[in-house]
Structure 1
Amino acid sequence: MLSRSLPNKSELSSIETICLNVLTYCNSKSLKQGICAHSPIIKLGLEHNVLLNNNLLSIYSKCYGPEHARHLFDEMPHRDVVSWSGMLSAYSKCKDHEEALRLFDFMRGDGHYPNEFTLSSVLRSCSSLGRFSLGSQLQSYMIKYGFDTNGILASSLIDLYSKCGFVKEAYELFKNVDNADTLLWTTIISAYTQAQNWKRGLQLYSDMIQVGVVPNEYTFVKLLGASSFLGLYYGKLVHAQVIVWGVKTALVLKTALVDMYCKCEEMDNALKVSKQTRERDVFLCTAIISGFIRKMDFTKAFAAFTEMLCSDIVPTNYTYSGILNACSSIPGIELGEQIHARVLMAGLQNDVSVGNALVDMYMKCSYTVENALGVFKEISSPNVISWTSLVAGLAEHGFQEESMKAFEEMISAGVQPNSFTLSSILWICSSVYSPSRTRELHGYIMKKNAIQDLVVGNALVDAYAGLGMVDDAHRVIKIMAKRDVITYTGIATRINQMGCHGTALSIISHMLADNIKMDGYSLATFLSASASLGAMEPGKQLHCSSLKSGLDSWISVSNGIVDLYGKCGCKDDAVRAFQEIDKPDVASWNCLMFALASNGHISPSLTAFEDMLLAGIRPDAITLLLLLFACSHGGLVDLGLDHFQHMKERYNIEPQLDHYVCKVDLLGRAGRLAEAVGVIESMPFQPNALVYKTLLGACRLHGNIPLGEDMARRSLELEPSDPTIYVLLANMYEDFGQPELGDNTRWLMKENGLRKNPGQSWTEIQNKIHLFSAGDRMHPQIYEIHEKLDLLLSEFKIMGYPYEANKASMYHSEKLAVIFGLLNAPSTAPIRIIKNIRICKDCHEFMVNLTLLVHREIIVRDGNRFHCFKKGECSCRGFW
């Protein structure tokens, strides 16, 4: 009975054939039903059939992935090369390339020889992991056994060579293949586009067409990727080729077209292409969202994201990363928190790209760092971007020490910092004034050879310059393999901020030696240095350079030109430069107001403010400072007080400490000292030394010695080492008949080891700066200057001018500079003098009388304002 129940050989063969047919059908049509055939195969005793098992292996891998297929594979009593190839293919397709290569080692150890399908999977894994050595061994095997003529394997080899950085060698392989088909051409085109040689990729497409090979959708996908970098013109050419060849716009090709247009910021064309067919997936939607974000059109980006969700398309980690970056740019914490909630529901909180975007969003949008720190801790394997976001974010929130510690933890975790990490940490070292840490980082950078990275080199230069270590900054510049305009703009800006304006201008020669052209930022910096130095000739040359290069269209450059002429006392040139600006911003108007007010044109300065309001430009805090400055120097007390009183309600500007100092100056100059004291005592800020010194100066002006002494005492409590306080107090005593107290004050200053800031003046003649100090004896023309001064004083007496020379101020620096100008400047040119401190009363009277005698315009810019002397009058009208 038992023998009758078992199938005979003929029946068994028939059953095997039936099972094989069933599995073959299920493999292509109905996978899960094919799995159901596994149990009957075992019951029928057919589990030893390799052919059946190979088909089952394919079904399991397609349905459930390599893990379930591996269970079957390990239980197979017999395996052939097809079994091994199927299992390798399963691992390769799910991108578990490490396991695929391990299995290949087992296969070789088991004595099986790979066929073309095995080699294809293994080469794919070698390409993904960069295992060039193993790939080369396989290439030798292919040549030995005649597989090198196989087009698919040749394509895999070319892909391996290109991904391992051997693009030229990949091309040599390609050339050696006879009758290359579309796949091979597409692979070599891909090799060059991945190597960022995009034009060569497009040239290869042209060669492909010339030899008569027809492109397919994947060819155009690669070409469109290259066009995204080359620009819209090339992208449109490739799109035209898609239409010419009549290639069906499948989803992958449509996505590539949309992505190209999005990257070229042609959103209308991108949307038009996306609507050509109804097919949509997450990659297409993500490309559109990214395009809107690139265009800074965040409203449409969020609308596209919402539409995607409504279409039941599940966002990927890249989609969430993009939309979170948009939240960072708005910034929008509420929206970011909603996206975060969706990330949690999607289970992507551990994904590194999403985590990075969340850290960045919370750092930029939140007032605290707790949420960002919480997100960072959730990232399973933080990468360099994660750490950089954390380091930079902590620093931006003012947690510099914590930022430093995070950087150290990053190094300890074995994560190598990139150029942005190092730039961030160098900026922190500069901002907290830490030369020692900067030097330590410099050592680390040299050890890792990161100095060759231009971004890192520039950051190190800026850090040293920001710390005032200019020589160190120059040494870094010398060892940098490459320098650019940012290198020199950074050091020039820092030097300019230090007040070394002449040194800042000298950076121009270094740029010229390196054949580096200025950009708008560097030009604005050099204009600022020229303006601060009062160097008219370099400033004019920079102005000409801006016109020739077209950089005058930069608003920062245009503003710098207005500022230059204003600070050089050329009011008319400043006004003209302002009028040439197409769309003046608030900084433009501020420069104009300063140029007018500081040169004594108070009424035009106030008119400029009214014109600014009529132009629809909102004033800022600096505008109001200038407005109060103009009122103070013009004696317009009530107008100034009115503007101060209504700063908040009219202009939505909360008065800051500087505005209160201006208010004290306004009242003090007008002699309303009691009101000025009331302002100091009632202002919502802790008074600083400057506000006390301002009122001390007013006390000297109006002879209120008791109040002046009180202001001096309060100033010294805050800044006991400031010699200016002693000088102001001593001058007040001397001006109002108490010279002995003045002498005592100066003696006390010397006892404390303090010295008055020496008065220095300089003038520019024939593009050269000539510096003078009080009592100067070193200048080559000093004897000629003294002779000329004596001659002028004699002529004053002959002409009956009301001027009595003061022996103490006989050889002040501004006198020496103006006489030098008379001796050397062209007879019709104005004499321009810059002085580091306020001009004294005696020198001011000397200049007034001098312009009656020599009929020359003299412009003196002192530490406080401009004095334009002309025909016996000064623009300050004696009120300074």
Structure 2
Amino acid sequence: MNSLINQSFQTKTTHFARRFTYSVTFAEITCLKHEESSTLFDPPKFFSTHRMSKHKSVRNTKVLHAHLLTTGALRSNIFFTNSLLDWYCKSGAVVVARKLFDAVPLRQVISWNIMMSGYNHNSMFQKSWEIFCGMHLLGFEPNESTYRSVLSACAALQAPIWRASLFPYNKKGFISNGYVRSGMMDMFAKSCSFNNALRIFFDVSCDNKVCWNVIISGAVRNGENWVALDLFRQMCSASLFPNSHTFSSILTACTVLRELEIGKAIHVWLIKCGVADVFVDTAIIDLYAKCGCMHDAAEKFSQMTVHNVGSWTAIISGFVREDDSVSALEFFKDMREVGEEISNFTVTSVLAACAKPGMIEEASQIHSLILKLGFCLDVTVGAALINMYAKLGEVGLSDLAFSEIKNSKDQGKWAAMMSSFAQNKNSGNIVELFQTMLAQSMRPDSHCISSVLSVISCLNLGRQMHCYCLKSGQVTDLSLGSSIFTMYSKCGCLGESYEVFEKLPQKDNVSWTSMIAGFADHGHVDRAFQLLKDMLYQEIAPDQITLIAILTACSARCILPTGKEIHGYVFRLGSGTNTVVVGALVTMYSKCGRLELARKVFNMLPQKDPVACSSLVSGYAQNGLIEEAILAFNDMLLLGVEVDSFIISSILRAVALLNKSSIGIQLHAFIVKLGLASDASIGSSLVTMYSNYGSIEDCRKVFDQVEKPDLISWTAIIVSYAQHGKGAEALATYELMRKEGIQPDSVTFVGVLLACSHSGLVEVAFFYFNLMVKDYGIKPGHRHYACIVDILGRSGRLREAESFINNMPLEPDALIWGTLLAACQVHGDFELGKMAAKKVMELGSCDAGAYVSLSNICADVGQWEEVANIRSLMKGTGTKKEPGWSYV
């Protein structure tokens, strides 16, 4: 009952307020009539008295309009009409104002100005421009107010203008008016004609701060940041003290240019002058944050007495940029506690902070907050949600966020979802999403198409996408063109890749690097090196990614001279202390067997980092210098270098070769202490290490601790089971891997065939061999054929093994003939064994095993003269039999 009473009271109060408002207006009109009966009515005095009245609504203006029509006063003086026009425009009734304007027979310039100003006030800038055009065509002479209004409209429209209609102000002397001049410059700056704005600024000397601020902010808006700094210097030289607008613009220019020292000097100046403004302080925080000085940014933030959403967002995004998610979320929590309103920019920064492994709980909490605050309707926030879940590996949640965005035609959300699928290698889903866009009559942009191209491994599909780009006219887009020729490179079609690259109208650093990497990845080091020379000839400086691509190719092919040339160029370029490039140099020298040079380059680093350290450790390990690898790893720990999964994997491979289980167990304990036991790459290395130690039980325990086993992890445990004669377990693990959705590769099938061989499963081996070829399209290599030969040889089917070798599409290598030779020794087939040994020796193998096996076969059948000949032949070729040894 009380609620009904309150509701009734509120309704009556509202009606009373409206009636009171109307009564005031009618009282004014009544007073007007009373004044008419006693003295003459003074319209200018009336409008001047009531121009600031709070009751200047559309209805009240119409009442006054009706009275003026009734009394005939509206026709007697244009002042009444202009006043009514102004009242209508300021009350939002521009349509009524326009009808009144059109009915005026004799308009004045002020009438046109009122209408233009009214349209601008109501954000109807196109209508304002049309009014100006009509005024110009009817021959009315614009004044300063006219130009101020039309310039504001043109600046807001950011569209081409009739400059011939605007430039007459120069002849009329309006150039000296600061408002008109600043409006003209602002219009040109916002329409990307900064040179014209600059010309207008320098036409006449000026000491108006507004003009200086407009031209400086216009320079920053158009990316002319050095020009902005120079203008700021000139302004200071002219003894004009900058205000907060000037400082905000110039600090933004310093931020973009990463000119930290200039920014610090301005900061000191502001402190000395006592300038305190929340927008200037926010610009200072943004400068320090984007230059990586988060300590200074946080200190400045703490000194601010007043914060706004911009300052909070600047400090949060700064910590996100420095990969400090904990601090970013702490500041966001403080922001929420003080009750500061958050913006979509704040939300996107916080979402980026949560896009790290192990932060799914925090991500879910932020997602709930977004739903609570209603930001889920914002397309930018939705795209950030999709990207966050993609980086967390939660594609299902990315899809959920995608479905929550209501605007189904927005390109941003589709591009974000495709990027999510691309990051998680879901090629099927991304192609399906692309087809859905086409079915909905949407035109995918370059970001969507690039995401699709990034996951394509099928040449036929890639060519279809290329055709679509040609048909839609997007092939000239630089980023999209780079994606197309990179796709061809991945598919092994370097000719087509280079053809697309050549046809690009413009090439940037990324496109050159991608093409160089394409040649380098496929072993065409000479072409890659020549392309690097062409790049330098066109005065495009290669970045560290380009140099790493060339050095990686030199490492793969062990091309030391080219690697040294690149090293010399790196030294001249001044990148000799770049840790990533130095890591690639260390790897290159290590792969080329020049460990002393690798160590020398490594020692030149002023600060050792995980990349360079792991390169040195793996270099020692790959060259058989196991103890040196362990010592290098120990030195790295003493230096306090952060340990990552790549370093641990490198040292584990070295320890596995050392066959010292005590060191391996200590290293495993160290890994558990660091919390890295669940890492897939480390788990794979541990499985291999324990397999070499002969402990298959420990292999399984380590594998079970891996949180999300990848293909390498599954392959490692399958091979371990196979090597230890547990064929059934190996095949069961393979089937479990397939159920988990992991696609096997050629190495996986080597493990499967090895398991069949050790378990005597001949028919099963042929089944998997055919499955590999037909279902997965994997071309068998020498190791696969060697496994089949081993299976047939172990089962005594030597002639069938010989026939299998002769019918191979590949030329048999020493491994295959050596496998047959070993089987001949087991089954005592002298003739076939002699032929197999001859093939091994013809292939130039220096392995003593072939000589020993043939010698043993001859000894078994009593061919002692052959045994002596074989021993003599071994001595002649310099082949020596390694003495047997036991670890026990």
The TM-score normalised by the length of structure 2 is: 0.72
Q: Does 1:643 align with 2:668?
A: no
Q: Deviations over 1:745-779 (max 9, x none)?
A: 433565xx533553279xxxxxxxxxxx999xxxx
Deviates more, 1:207-216 or 1:47-56: 47-56
Conserved? CA contact 1:625–1:662, under 8 Å:
no
Deviates more, 1:723-732 or 1:472-481: 723-732
Counterpart selection for 1:185 from 209, 212, 226? 212
Conserved? CA contact 1:727–1:756, under 8 Å:
no
Q: State the alpha-carbon separation in 2 of the partners of residues 531 and 435 from structure 1.
A: 30
Conserved? CA contact 1:239–1:257, under 8 Å:
yes
Gaps of 5+ in 2: 1-29, 584-607, 739-747, 774-778, 819-831, 856-869
Q: State the alpha-carbon separation in 1 of the partners of residues 562 and 876 from structure 2.
A: 27
CA root-mean-square deviation: 4.8
Question: How far did residue 462 of structure 1 move?
Answer: 1.9
SS of alignment partner, residue 39 of structure 2 = helix
Q: Does 1:503 align with 2:524?
A: yes
Conserved? CA contact 1:73–1:83, under 8 Å:
no
Query: For residue 216 of structure 1, what is the amino acid of its counterpart?
Result: N
Residues 508 and 760 of structure 1: CA distance in aligned 2, closer, same or farther (over 3 Å): farther
Q: Deviations over 1:482-541 (max 9, x none)?
A: 6566546645666677xx5x4357634532442377766566656665665566777788
Query: 1:792 aligns to what?
Result: none
Query: 1:229 aligns to what?
Result: 256
Q: Does 1:590 align with 2:619?
A: no
Query: 2:762 aligns to what?
Result: 709
Query: 2:128 aligns to what?
Result: 100
Question: How far did residue 479 of structure 1 move?
Answer: 3.7
Q: Deviations over 1:118-167 (max 9, x none)?
A: 21121122233233332x12333213433233222222222233333333
Query: 1:695 aligns to what?
Result: 755
Question: How far did residue 850 of structure 1 move?
Answer: 11
Counterpart selection for 2:488 from 438, 446, 464? 464
SS of alignment partner, residue 204 of structure 1 = helix
Q: State the alpha-carbon separation in 2 of the partners of residues 380 and 86 from structure 1.
A: 42
Q: State the alpha-carbon separation in 1 of the partners of residues 854 and 647 from structure 2.
A: 34
Q: Deviations over 1:291-331 (max 9, x none)?
A: 44434444554555555555555444444444444455655
Query: 1:663 aligns to what?
Result: 720
Counterpart selection for 1:160 from 184, 187, 205? 187
Which protein, 1 or 2, shows the higher relative CO under an 8 Å CA cutoff with sep ≥ 6? 1
Q: Deviations over 1:172-226 (max 9, x none)?
A: 2211113342122222222222221212211111111222333222111211211
Conserved? CA contact 2:750–2:783, under 8 Å:
no
Query: 1:754 aligns to what?
Result: 808
**The structure with more helix, counted as a fraction of residues:** 2
Structural mapping, 1:612-651, within 5 Å: 612-613=670-671, 616=674, 618-619=676-677, 620-633=679-692, 636-637=693-694, 640-647=695-702
Q: Does 1:124 align with 2:124?
A: no
SS of alignment partner, residue 240 of structure 2 = coil
Conserved? CA contact 1:327–1:333, under 8 Å:
yes
Conserved? CA contact 2:367–2:385, under 8 Å:
no
The TM-score normalised by the length of structure 1 is: 0.72
Residues 265 and 21 of structure 1: CA distance in aligned 2, closer, same or farther (over 3 Å): farther
Conserved? CA contact 1:363–1:372, under 8 Å:
no
Structural mapping, 1:538-553, within 5 Å: 549-550=576-577, 551-552=582-583, 553=608
Query: 2:728 aligns to what?
Result: 677
Q: State the alpha-carbon separation in 1 of the partners of residues 205 and 564 from structure 2.
A: 67
Q: State the alpha-carbon separation in 2 of the partners of residues 237 and 428 from structure 1.
A: 48
Conserved? CA contact 1:174–1:184, under 8 Å:
yes
Counterpart selection for 1:71 from 68, 79, 96? 96
Structural mapping, 1:432-443, within 5 Å: 434-441=461-468, 443=470
Query: 2:367 aligns to what?
Result: 337
Q: Does 1:424 align with 2:451?
A: yes
Q: Does 1:22 align with 2:50?
A: yes
Query: 2:23 aligns to what?
Result: none
Residues 878 and 93 of structure 1: CA distance in aligned 2, closer, same or farther (over 3 Å): farther
Q: State the alpha-carbon separation in 2 of the partners of residues 805 and 162 from structure 1.
A: 86
Structural mapping, 1:761-800, within 5 Å: none
Query: 1:785 aligns to what?
Result: none
SS of alignment partner, residue 223 of structure 2 = coil
Question: How far did residue 19 of structure 1 move?
Answer: 3.8
Q: State the alpha-carbon separation in 2 of the partners of residues 389 and 694 from structure 1.
A: 43
Q: State the alpha-carbon separation in 1 of the partners of residues 480 and 685 from structure 2.
A: 39
Query: For residue 230 of structure 1, what is the amino acid of its counterpart?
Result: L
SS of alignment partner, residue 685 of structure 1 = helix
Query: 2:290 aligns to what?
Result: 263
Query: 1:372 aligns to what?
Result: 401
Residues 509 and 812 of structure 1: CA distance in aligned 2, closer, same or farther (over 3 Å): farther
Residues 22 and 311 of structure 1: CA distance in aligned 2, closer, same or farther (over 3 Å): farther
Q: Does 1:742 align with 2:798?
A: yes
Query: 1:790 aligns to what?
Result: none
Question: How far did residue 425 of structure 1 move?
Answer: 2.4
Query: For residue 147 of structure 2, what is the amino acid of its counterpart?
Result: L
Question: How far did residue 235 of structure 1 move?
Answer: 1.8
Conserved? CA contact 1:592–1:608, under 8 Å:
no
Query: For residue 644 of structure 1, what is the amino acid of its counterpart?
Result: C
Q: State the alpha-carbon separation in 2 of the partners of residues 591 and 386 from structure 1.
A: 40
Query: For residue 202 of structure 2, what is the amino acid of its counterpart?
Result: K
Query: 1:389 aligns to what?
Result: 416
Q: State the alpha-carbon separation in 2 of the partners of residues 849 and 195 from structure 1.
A: 83
Q: State the alpha-carbon separation in 2 of the partners of residues 480 and 233 from structure 1.
A: 39
Conserved? CA contact 1:289–1:302, under 8 Å:
yes
Q: State the alpha-carbon separation in 1 of the partners of residues 498 and 886 from structure 2.
A: 46
Q: State the alpha-carbon separation in 1 of the partners of residues 270 and 98 from structure 2.
A: 44
Conserved? CA contact 2:519–2:528, under 8 Å:
no
Query: For residue 645 of structure 2, what is the amino acid of its counterpart?
Result: V
Question: How far did residue 628 of structure 1 move?
Answer: 4.2
Q: Percent identity between the aligned chains?
A: 19
Counterpart selection for 2:225 from 179, 198, 207? 198
Question: How far did residue 281 of structure 1 move?
Answer: 4.0
Deviates more, 1:238-247 or 1:120-129: 238-247
